Structure 1
Amino acid sequence: MALNIKTIAKMAGVSVSTVSKIINNYSDVSDETKARVLEIMRETGYTPSNSAKTLATKKSNLIGVIFAGKLNVDFTHPFFVEVLNSFKKQMGVLGYDLLFFSNEKFQGEDADYLGRCRHYQVDGCVIISGEEIEPSIKELDESDIPCIGVDIELFGEMSGHIMSDNYKMSSKVVEHFYLQGFRDLGFIGGSKESEISNMREAGYRNAMESFGLPARAEWFLNGDDFYEASGYKAMTRLIEAGSLPRAIFAASDQIAIGAIQALQEHGLNVPDDMSIIGCDDIEACKYTTPKLTTIRQNKEKIGRLAALMLYDLIHKQSPVSSFVVEPELIVRESCGSNTHHYGYFG
């Protein structure tokens, strides 16, 4: 006889839902019934599978992890890896496993995240922002599956999102540049399709306007993504154009690292010839030459909050909500002072 939850229920003379409640440690089963079922499970050697736990409760204890976008981030992205590690730890404490969705084969209309979520009966999803977001993300956002977006805004009835305050981080950068005596400022963003990059650029431009600083079009560039090669290519274009700002805000640390490499290969010094500030505060910032001044995003906090928010959505314990997390300027070596024109601004 094949052992499954239905077999155990028949042997114990109880319903399948009763066995499922016992497996999932529900309290509304009598001690006598619970003891009888557990004894049968022990005698038969039956070990409940995840599908058995799901059968009556409709809960799989699985959380879908989706790296959204045709130009998606992945496990090589140090910022999202740290966020996801924090998310995983908190979800583990709450009793959930993670199921990672592949989108290498499923692109565009074929992504069908909602259909795949229903197939695997996930209890909820965390959606991590990429670029050129697929239409199927919107379909999932508008469904009844609880979703939390990280660096992507979700507005469905069962969705929420969390991100750093992208406008404030840009304002902090402009303020720091201004205090150091810099007035000629530039910006290197990710792709033009990236909402996060666009937020950071908009915040940067707004802050510059507040300080009365002109935004020269030739000093505002977009790369292909948030990685080093993108920063390297953007900075190379800027150098070859023959006109350089004195300070640049890069929309990610990796863009900043690539930009610094391009400057150094062209015989320019950071921060003497150009100051650079990155964004994220990945581990590599401490080991670059020079060490990178950056905006720290609280990756551990973002991951934990995403997990707790999703848990509350799944259990309907609180209204759907969204949060922004306070960024922090971390001053290192890649941003100096423009002492020649403005004196000391330490």
Structure 2
Amino acid sequence: MTGRAGRVTQTVGIKDVARLAGVSVGTVSNVLNRPEKVSEHTRVRVRAVIDQLGFVRSETARQLRVGTSRILAILVLDMGNPFFVAVAKGAERAAREAGLGVMLCNSAGSTAEEAEYLSLFTEQRVRGVLLTPADATGGNVRTFARRGIPYVHVDRAVPADEGCSVSVDDVAGGTLAVRHLLAAGHRSVTYISGPMSLPQCRDRHTGALAALREAGLPETALRHVESARLDVASGIDAGARLLGLADRPTAVFCANDLLALGVLQAMYGAGVDVPGDMSIVGYDDIEFAAAAVVPLTSVRQPADAMGRTAARMLMEETGPDAEGHRHRSVVLQPELVVRSSTHAPAPRPSASRRPAPHDPAR
């Protein structure tokens, strides 16, 4: 390696630190990994030499020596979605509290990219993985499971014999959303989702239908618009499709807040009053939901708690008491947060009772 002045520099190793500090390599290792075993005087001297030499320990060498990594990997569906950012932050805080680092990756909903990242995690021999699967068939996860690295499903419930999981009761969340709209008097509701291959979209739809049955209404009272993605652009497109309907719904329930914000943008651009002409409910309760031009009613998911819980479960499975670990499924409960985007439906004039034309002379 060549320095700025053209001189060849060498990587500083643990032996260099030990030699200059006048201690054994084992003592330096204890200062780095088990400082409680070293006297304060020696720790101070070794740390001073580490700072002087600019020594950085090799995580690869440490991993080869002790057999475990200090890195947790997190693989989410969409880092453009603030919900997954909040999940990752919760997991990172729990990992840092335990002295572990985090590798954050984004599959972008691609099964091919998911497979590549899972292979990378195997090559790096990470301590464990927090995973929101993109592959609806489960093939990528089954392949990864054979590699012996522990993992926890996040935002996806699985049977205990398939591993640990942390999720939210999305059926209950869908019921909360549509029950709220029905209680406000809406009878023309449309559910806008992402791909129905995603369990979250299916479960929220199932919950919406349950609310209809609870109210004594047929399932056909709920129309469904499926989008290719769970993002704002897809929400705008879905909103445009609704605007083209002769019998436009009075209420919309969206599978996430990004879709809902897109629908809101489409309505706002077309001069449709929200909530006067159309009520909108989102899902996740991301930070932007409350800050929208019309604050968005949303089903809140405890994203931070989900990330923290998943990370702690993974650390239990990879910690010193791992032999006694038993897989379990933790299901958290959603909460409806009501804001200005929902209201009772505005009365629609019938053909026999149209409003009188405006008289400019008045």
Q: TM-score range by the shorter chain?
A: 0.7 to 0.9
1:344 corresponds to which residue? none
**Contact (CA 8 Å) 1:129, 1:151: kept in 2 or not?**
no
Instruction: Give the Cα separation in 2 of the matches to 1:123 and 1:297.
Output: 27
CA positional deviation for 1:318: 3.7
Instruction: Give the Cα separation in 1 of the matches to 2:308 and 2:47.
Output: 39
Aligned pair 1:188/2:192, yes or no? yes
* Matched length: 329
The one-letter amino acid of 1:319's match is R
1:253 corresponds to which residue? 257
Aligned match for 1:126, one of 124, 130, 133: 130
In structure 2, relative to structure 1, the CA distance for the partners of 1:275 and 1:324 (3 Å cut) is same
The one-letter amino acid of 2:339's match is R
Alignment of 1:72-91 (within 5 A): 72-74=77-79, 76-91=80-95
2:357 corresponds to which residue? none
Partner-residue secondary structure (3-state), 1:306: helix
Instruction: Give the Cα separation in 1 of the matches to 2:262 and 2:339.
Output: 17
Aligned pair 1:337/2:337, yes or no? no
**Contact (CA 8 Å) 1:142, 1:157: kept in 2 or not?**
no
In structure 2, relative to structure 1, the CA distance for the partners of 1:234 and 1:47 (3 Å cut) is closer
**Contact (CA 8 Å) 2:83, 2:303: kept in 1 or not?**
yes
Q: Say which is worse superposed, 95-104 or 224-233, in terms of deviation.
A: 95-104
Aligned pair 1:48/2:48, yes or no? no
**Contact (CA 8 Å) 1:293, 1:332: kept in 2 or not?**
yes
**Contact (CA 8 Å) 2:188, 2:222: kept in 1 or not?**
no
TM-score of the superposed pair, with normalisation by structure 1: 0.81
Instruction: Give the Cα separation in 2 of the matches to 1:307 and 1:19.
Output: 30
**Contact (CA 8 Å) 1:141, 1:159: kept in 2 or not?**
no
Instruction: Give the Cα separation in 1 of the matches to 2:159 and 2:31.
Output: 37
2:284 corresponds to which residue? 280
Alignment of 1:223-234 (within 5 A): 223-234=227-238
**Contact (CA 8 Å) 2:260, 2:281: kept in 1 or not?**
yes
Cα-Cα RMSD: 3.5
In structure 2, relative to structure 1, the CA distance for the partners of 1:339 and 1:270 (3 Å cut) is closer
Aligned pair 1:151/2:155, yes or no? yes
Structure with the greater alpha carbon radius of gyration = 2
CA positional deviation for 1:251: 0.5
**Contact (CA 8 Å) 1:164, 1:326: kept in 2 or not?**
yes
**Contact (CA 8 Å) 1:168, 1:203: kept in 2 or not?**
yes
CA positional deviation for 1:311: 0.9
Aligned match for 1:66, one of 75, 85, 94: 75
Partner-residue secondary structure (3-state), 2:298: strand
Instruction: Give the Cα separation in 1 of the matches to 2:78 and 2:216.
Output: 36
Partner-residue secondary structure (3-state), 1:111: helix
Structure 2 residue runs without a partner (length 5+): 1-9, 349-362
2:304 corresponds to which residue? 300
Partner-residue secondary structure (3-state), 2:244: helix
CA positional deviation for 1:135: 2.9
Aligned pair 1:170/2:174, yes or no? yes
The one-letter amino acid of 1:49's match is S
**Contact (CA 8 Å) 1:158, 1:313: kept in 2 or not?**
no
Instruction: Give the Cα separation in 2 of the matches to 1:189 and 1:102.
Output: 21
Instruction: Give the Cα separation in 1 of the matches to 2:163 and 2:340.
Output: 40
CA positional deviation for 1:220: 0.8
The Cα offsets for residues 229-251 of structure 1, whole Å up to 9 and x where unpaired, read as: 11121222223132222222111
TM-score of the superposed pair, with normalisation by structure 2: 0.78
Q: Say which is worse superposed, 156-165 or 220-229, in terms of deviation.
A: 156-165
Identity across aligned pairs (percent)?
27
Partner-residue secondary structure (3-state), 1:311: helix
